[in-house]
Amino acid sequence: MVYDYDVEVSSSSRRGLMCSIATLPCLLPLTHIFGSLRANANAMLPPGGDEYVRIKEELKKVLSKGKAAGVLRLVFHDAGTFEIDHDAGGMNGSIVYELERPENAGLKKSVKVLQKAKTQIDAIHPGPCFLW
């Protein structure tokens, strides 16, 4: 596939990039699972740092391709609660309190996956890892 800027991009690399972009950053706002994240510049991990690489490897172990779809669905359901008129809802982690609703059937498995990821990350780097 060729785009206007004359660079060919394979669909598999785009798919991998989309999974990385769409899944991992979206996991972090689930405050119930990851705890409260504070703005702490010292806790920010530099890209390519040793801890960053180890955390990324642990996430890859826990978040297989088969589980990524469920986690993405979890994020989508959480984000779908946004109300533009009231500037409320949205991707705020409240989905963990709404797992019993019929439209959220099957999302408990994804929450368990994220809890396992958090356990692995806490073993490497306790405390907040990211600055928002």
**pLDDT tens sequence across 89-130:** 788 888 888 889 898 899 999 988 888 888 877 877 776 655
- Among 2-6, 40-44, 59-63, the range of highest mean pLDDT: 59-63
Domain assignment present for residue 3? The answer is no
- Residue bearing tokens 């990324």: 56
Number of structural domains in the chain: 1
What is residue 42's predicted lDDT score, i.e. its pLDDT?
Answer: 41
The answer to whether position 20 is within a domain reads no
What does the alpha-carbon distance between residue 68 and residue 110 come to, in Å, rounded to a whole number? Answer: 9
For residue 112, the number of C-alpha atoms closer than 13 Å in the C-beta half-sphere is: 5
The answer on pLDDT for 40 being more than 50 is: no
Ramachandran region, residue 43 (left: φ > 0; alpha: ψ -120 to 50; beta: rest): alpha
Assess whether pLDDT exceeds 70 at residue 66. Answer: yes
Q: Is 132 within the bounds of a domain?
A: no
Domain containing 69 equals 26-124
Residue 28 confidence (pLDDT): 52
129 in any annotated domain:
no
Under a CB-based contact definition with an 8 Å cutoff, are residues 28 and 91 in contact?
no
Q: How far is CA 49 from the centre of its chain?
A: 20
Rounded Cα distance, 24 and 75, in Å: 10
Domain-embedded: residue 33: yes
Catalytic residue flag (residue 32): no
Cβ contact 34:111 at 8 Å: no
Give the per-residue pLDDT at 61: 83
| Other residues' Cβ atoms within 10 Å of the Cβ of residue 116 | 15
Query: What per-residue confidence (pLDDT) applies to 106?
Result: 92
The answer as to whether 86 is a domain residue is yes
State which H helix or E strand residue 83 sits in. Answer: none
* 21 is a domain residue: no
**Given 32, 77, 86, 125, the catalytic residue:** 77
